[in-house]
Amino acid sequence: MKKLYYAGGYIFLDDDVCEALVMYAKALADVGKSDLVTVPALSDEGMQGRTRLLIGPASQLFSAAALDRGVDLTDAEATRSMREKTARLQPSRPVFEETADYTNDGFGE
């Protein structure tokens, strides 16, 4: 379980959800965009529910380890969605074929 500090308060999130959210917030900030995400959370008052967070360039958030509260806050769909969106925001990288044989460079032995 992670404690996510956001807007002067904090919420508790599942480890995977929190990691995906923080990485998505960074990717959004890198390209100057924002998004509204909804994730399962436990409030600082102990209330369980879905939390909506606006993340992007102005987000000032950080996470830290927290004691397990015995509440299931996993959300595979939200985690998958944020990871996919993060990947789409990353700069494209060239793909190299691994089938090329560079062992015989034509210079003979």
For CA atoms 2, 78, 23, 50, give the dihedral sign.
negative
Instruction: Give residue 107's pLDDT.
Output: 55
Does residue 100 carry a pLDDT above 60? no
Instruction: Give residue 91's pLDDT.
Output: 82
What average pLDDT does range 9-26 have in this prediction?
96
Paired tokens of 68: 């397990």
Paired tokens of 83: 């990871």
Secondary structure (DSSP) of the chain: -EEEEETTEEEEE-HHHHHHHHHHHHHHHHHT--EEEEEEEEETTS-EEEEEEEESTT--EEEEE----S-----HHHHHHHHHHHHHHSPP-----S----S--SS--
Instruction: Give residue 12's pLDDT.
Output: 97
Does residue 17 carry a pLDDT above 80? yes
Instruction: Give residue 14's pLDDT.
Output: 97
Instruction: Give residue 92's pLDDT.
Output: 75
Which residues contact residue 100 at a Cβ distance below 8 angstroms, ignoring those fewer than 6 apart?
none
What average pLDDT does range 16-39 have in this prediction?
96
Instruction: Give residue 105's pLDDT.
Output: 56
